[in-house]
Protein backbone atom coordinates (compact mmCIF):
# COMPACT_ATOMS: atom_id res chain seq x y z
CA UNK A 1 0.00 0.00 0.00
CA UNK A 2 1.31 3.45 -0.94
CA UNK A 3 2.50 5.47 2.03
CA UNK A 4 0.55 8.65 2.62
CA UNK A 5 0.03 11.57 4.99
CA UNK A 6 -2.86 13.86 5.84
CA UNK A 7 -1.87 17.24 4.39
CA UNK A 8 -3.32 20.69 5.07
CA UNK A 9 -1.26 22.55 2.45
CA UNK A 10 1.93 22.49 0.37
CA UNK A 11 3.28 25.80 -0.84
CA UNK A 12 6.42 27.84 -1.52
CA UNK A 13 7.33 31.05 0.29
CA UNK A 14 10.28 32.39 2.24
CA UNK A 15 11.25 30.86 5.55
CA UNK A 16 9.93 33.24 8.17
CA UNK A 17 11.78 32.06 11.26
CA UNK A 18 14.88 30.50 12.79
CA UNK A 19 18.32 30.01 11.25
CA UNK A 20 17.04 29.82 7.66
CA UNK A 21 14.87 32.95 7.91
CA UNK A 22 14.65 34.72 4.57
CA UNK A 23 15.53 31.67 2.45
CA UNK A 24 13.08 30.48 -0.23
CA UNK A 25 11.46 27.35 1.14
CA UNK A 26 8.75 24.84 0.31
CA UNK A 27 6.43 23.98 3.19
CA UNK A 28 4.56 20.75 3.79
CA UNK A 29 1.97 21.44 6.48
CA UNK A 30 0.59 18.26 7.99
CA UNK A 31 -2.89 18.09 9.49
CA UNK A 32 -3.52 17.46 13.17
CA UNK A 33 -1.98 18.33 16.52
CA UNK A 34 -2.47 16.84 19.99
CA UNK A 35 -1.59 20.16 21.64
CA UNK A 36 -3.70 23.28 22.04
CA UNK A 37 -1.29 26.15 22.69
CA UNK A 38 -3.19 29.29 23.66
CA UNK A 39 -1.38 31.43 21.11
CA UNK A 40 -1.52 28.92 18.22
CA UNK A 41 -1.71 30.60 14.80
CA UNK A 42 -2.45 27.47 12.74
CA UNK A 43 -5.67 26.18 14.25
CA UNK A 44 -6.94 25.69 10.69
CA UNK A 45 -4.53 22.75 10.50
CA UNK A 46 -6.07 20.85 13.41
CA UNK A 47 -8.73 19.12 11.30
CA UNK A 48 -9.61 18.31 7.72
CA UNK A 49 -6.77 18.05 5.28
CA UNK A 50 -6.36 15.74 2.30
CA UNK A 51 -4.82 12.28 2.25
CA UNK A 52 -1.90 12.45 -0.20
CA UNK A 53 0.51 9.72 -1.20
CA UNK A 54 4.26 10.17 -0.98
CA UNK A 55 4.37 10.22 -4.80
CA UNK A 56 1.86 13.09 -4.89
CA UNK A 57 3.78 15.03 -2.24
CA UNK A 58 7.08 14.52 -4.05
CA UNK A 59 5.56 15.56 -7.37
CA UNK A 60 4.26 18.79 -5.86
CA UNK A 61 7.62 19.58 -4.27
CA UNK A 62 9.35 18.87 -7.58
CA UNK A 63 6.96 21.29 -9.27
CA UNK A 64 7.73 23.98 -6.69
CA UNK A 65 11.42 23.45 -7.39
CA UNK A 66 12.91 24.59 -4.07
CA UNK A 67 15.73 22.53 -2.48
CA UNK A 68 14.88 23.68 1.07
CA UNK A 69 11.79 22.01 2.56
CA UNK A 70 10.15 22.44 5.94
CA UNK A 71 7.83 19.83 7.40
CA UNK A 72 5.47 21.54 9.82
CA UNK A 73 1.97 21.41 11.27
CA UNK A 74 0.13 21.22 13.55
CA UNK A 75 2.45 18.65 14.97
CA UNK A 76 4.03 16.74 12.08
CA UNK A 77 5.33 13.89 14.23
CA UNK A 78 1.80 13.03 15.33
CA UNK A 79 1.59 11.14 12.01
CA UNK A 80 3.80 8.03 12.12
CA UNK A 81 4.80 8.16 8.43
CA UNK A 82 6.47 11.57 8.75
CA UNK A 83 10.03 10.26 9.44
CA UNK A 84 9.79 8.08 6.32
CA UNK A 85 8.83 11.08 4.16
CA UNK A 86 11.75 13.06 5.57
CA UNK A 87 14.18 10.22 4.86
CA UNK A 88 12.86 9.96 1.30
CA UNK A 89 13.32 13.70 0.75
CA UNK A 90 16.86 13.66 2.13
CA UNK A 91 17.80 10.75 -0.15
CA UNK A 92 16.47 12.81 -3.07
CA UNK A 93 18.82 15.67 -2.17
CA UNK A 94 16.51 18.04 -0.34
CA UNK A 95 17.62 19.96 2.73
CA UNK A 96 14.84 19.13 5.20
CA UNK A 97 13.77 20.97 8.33
CA UNK A 98 11.09 19.93 10.73
CA UNK A 99 9.33 22.21 13.20
CA UNK A 100 8.04 20.13 16.09
CA UNK A 101 6.45 20.93 19.43
CA UNK A 102 8.85 18.68 21.30
CA UNK A 103 5.89 16.70 22.62
CA UNK A 104 6.55 13.75 20.29
CA UNK A 105 9.70 11.57 20.18
CA UNK A 106 12.31 12.71 17.66
CA UNK A 107 14.83 9.85 17.85
CA UNK A 108 13.54 8.19 14.66
CA UNK A 109 14.33 11.21 12.48
CA UNK A 110 17.07 10.89 9.87
CA UNK A 111 20.32 12.35 11.27
CA UNK A 112 20.50 14.90 8.46
CA UNK A 113 17.17 16.44 9.49
CA UNK A 114 17.45 19.99 10.76
CA UNK A 115 15.26 20.06 13.86
CA UNK A 116 13.54 23.17 15.23
CA UNK A 117 12.04 22.05 18.52
CA UNK A 118 9.79 24.12 20.73
CA UNK A 119 9.92 23.92 24.47
CA UNK A 120 6.51 25.02 25.64
CA UNK A 121 6.52 27.91 28.11
CA UNK A 122 3.85 28.25 30.84
CA UNK A 123 1.60 30.70 28.97
CA UNK A 124 1.16 28.18 26.16
CA UNK A 125 -0.85 26.04 28.56
CA UNK A 126 1.12 23.03 27.31
CA UNK A 127 4.21 23.10 29.53
CA UNK A 128 3.39 19.65 30.89
CA UNK A 129 3.67 18.17 27.38
CA UNK A 130 7.40 18.92 27.05
CA UNK A 131 9.27 15.68 26.36
CA UNK A 132 12.63 16.58 27.84
CA UNK A 133 14.31 13.34 26.78
CA UNK A 134 14.21 14.77 23.25
CA UNK A 135 17.10 17.03 24.25
CA UNK A 136 19.43 14.03 24.24
CA UNK A 137 18.61 13.44 20.56
CA UNK A 138 19.31 16.98 19.32
CA UNK A 139 22.48 17.86 17.41
CA UNK A 140 24.55 21.02 18.01
CA UNK A 141 23.22 22.40 14.71
CA UNK A 142 19.59 21.94 15.78
CA UNK A 143 17.48 24.70 17.29
CA UNK A 144 15.42 25.04 20.46
CA UNK A 145 12.72 27.67 20.29
CA UNK A 146 10.89 29.27 23.19
CA UNK A 147 7.76 31.21 22.25
CA UNK A 148 7.63 34.04 24.79
CA UNK A 149 4.15 35.39 25.52
CA UNK A 150 4.88 37.21 28.81
CA UNK A 151 7.56 38.21 31.27
CA UNK A 152 6.75 35.00 33.15
CA UNK A 153 7.49 32.97 30.03
CA UNK A 154 10.76 34.81 29.58
CA UNK A 155 11.92 34.07 33.11
CA UNK A 156 10.94 30.41 32.76
CA UNK A 157 12.84 30.12 29.47
CA UNK A 158 15.84 31.99 30.88
CA UNK A 159 16.04 29.58 33.80
CA UNK A 160 15.72 26.55 31.50
CA UNK A 161 18.57 27.83 29.33
CA UNK A 162 20.81 28.47 32.30
CA UNK A 163 20.03 25.24 34.17
CA UNK A 164 20.60 23.03 31.15
CA UNK A 165 23.35 25.13 29.51
CA UNK A 166 21.17 24.86 26.43
CA UNK A 167 22.83 27.78 24.68
CA UNK A 168 26.19 26.00 25.01
CA UNK A 169 24.96 22.92 23.15
CA UNK A 170 22.32 24.11 20.66
CA UNK A 171 21.07 27.15 18.81
CA UNK A 172 18.54 28.80 21.13
CA UNK A 173 15.80 31.11 19.87
CA UNK A 174 13.54 33.37 21.92
CA UNK A 175 10.51 34.13 19.79
CA UNK A 176 8.18 37.03 20.58
CA UNK A 177 4.60 35.73 20.50
CA UNK A 178 3.05 37.97 17.87
CA UNK A 179 0.78 40.60 19.40
CA UNK A 180 1.51 39.48 22.98
CA UNK A 181 5.11 40.59 23.58
CA UNK A 182 6.77 43.56 21.93
CA UNK A 183 10.05 42.58 20.24
CA UNK A 184 11.74 45.62 21.80
CA UNK A 185 10.78 44.39 25.27
CA UNK A 186 12.08 40.90 24.56
CA UNK A 187 15.38 42.33 23.32
CA UNK A 188 15.71 44.36 26.52
CA UNK A 189 15.03 41.28 28.67
CA UNK A 190 17.58 39.19 26.75
CA UNK A 191 20.28 41.83 27.08
CA UNK A 192 19.57 42.56 30.75
CA UNK A 193 19.77 38.83 31.53
CA UNK A 194 23.15 38.51 29.81
CA UNK A 195 21.89 35.81 27.45
CA UNK A 196 24.57 36.51 24.88
CA UNK A 197 24.15 33.22 23.02
CA UNK A 198 20.37 33.47 22.62
CA UNK A 199 18.98 34.66 19.31
CA UNK A 200 15.90 36.86 18.89
CA UNK A 201 13.38 35.20 16.60
CA UNK A 202 10.67 37.13 14.77
CA UNK A 203 8.00 35.65 12.52
CA UNK A 204 9.00 37.61 9.43
CA UNK A 205 6.05 36.39 7.37
CA UNK A 206 3.67 38.14 9.79
CA UNK A 207 5.38 41.45 9.09
CA UNK A 208 5.48 40.90 5.33
CA UNK A 209 1.89 39.65 4.94
CA UNK A 210 -1.23 39.81 7.05
CA UNK A 211 -0.61 37.93 10.34
CA UNK A 212 -3.46 35.50 9.59
CA UNK A 213 -2.55 34.90 5.94
CA UNK A 214 -2.30 31.24 4.91
CA UNK A 215 0.12 29.76 2.40
CA UNK A 216 2.89 32.25 3.14
What is the pLDDT at residue 210? 66
What is the rounded distance in angstroms from the CA atom of residue 178 to the CA atom of residue 208?
A: 13
Does 214 reside within a domain? Answer: no
What is the pLDDT at residue 1? 64
pTM of the entire structure? 0.93
With a CB cutoff of 8 Å and minimum separation 6, the contacts of 78 are 30, 32, 33, 34, 104
What is the pLDDT at residue 213? 65
Per-residue pLDDT tens for 86-108? 999 999 999 999 999 999 999 99
Q: What's the start-to-end Cα distance of the chain, in Å?
A: 33
Q: Backbone phi, then psi, for 65, in 5-degree steps?
A: 75, 25
In this prediction, the residues of the chain whose per-residue pLDDT falls under 70 are 1, 205-206, 210-213, 215-216
What is the rounded distance in angstroms from the CA atom of residue 168 to the CA atom of residue 196?
A: 11
Does 19 reside within a domain? Answer: yes
Which domain does 137 fall in, by range?
4-208
What is the rounded distance in angstroms from the CA atom of residue 45 to the CA atom of residue 58?
A: 20
Does 215 reside within a domain? Answer: no
Does 53 reside within a domain? Answer: yes
Does 213 reside within a domain? Answer: no
Q: How far is CA 55 from the centre of its chain?
A: 24
CATH number at residue 17: 3.20.20.70
Residue 50: other Cβ atoms inside 10 A: 13
Of 157, 141, 138, the closest CA to residue 198 belongs to: 157
What is the rounded distance in angstroms from the CA atom of residue 24 to the CA atom of residue 29?
A: 16
What is the rounded distance in angstroms from the CA atom of residue 216 to the CA atom of residue 211?
A: 10
What is the pLDDT at residue 159? 98
Q: Measured on CA atoms in the order 78, 212, 18, 175, is the torsion positive or negative?
A: negative
Does 216 reside within a domain? Answer: no
Domain count, the chain: 1
Amino acid sequence: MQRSLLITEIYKSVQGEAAYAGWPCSFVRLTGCPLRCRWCDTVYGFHGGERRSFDEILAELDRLGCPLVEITGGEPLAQPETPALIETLIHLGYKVMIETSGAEPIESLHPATHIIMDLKCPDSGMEDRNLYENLSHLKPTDEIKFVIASRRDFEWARDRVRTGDLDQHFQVLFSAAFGLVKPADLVEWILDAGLHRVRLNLQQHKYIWHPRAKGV
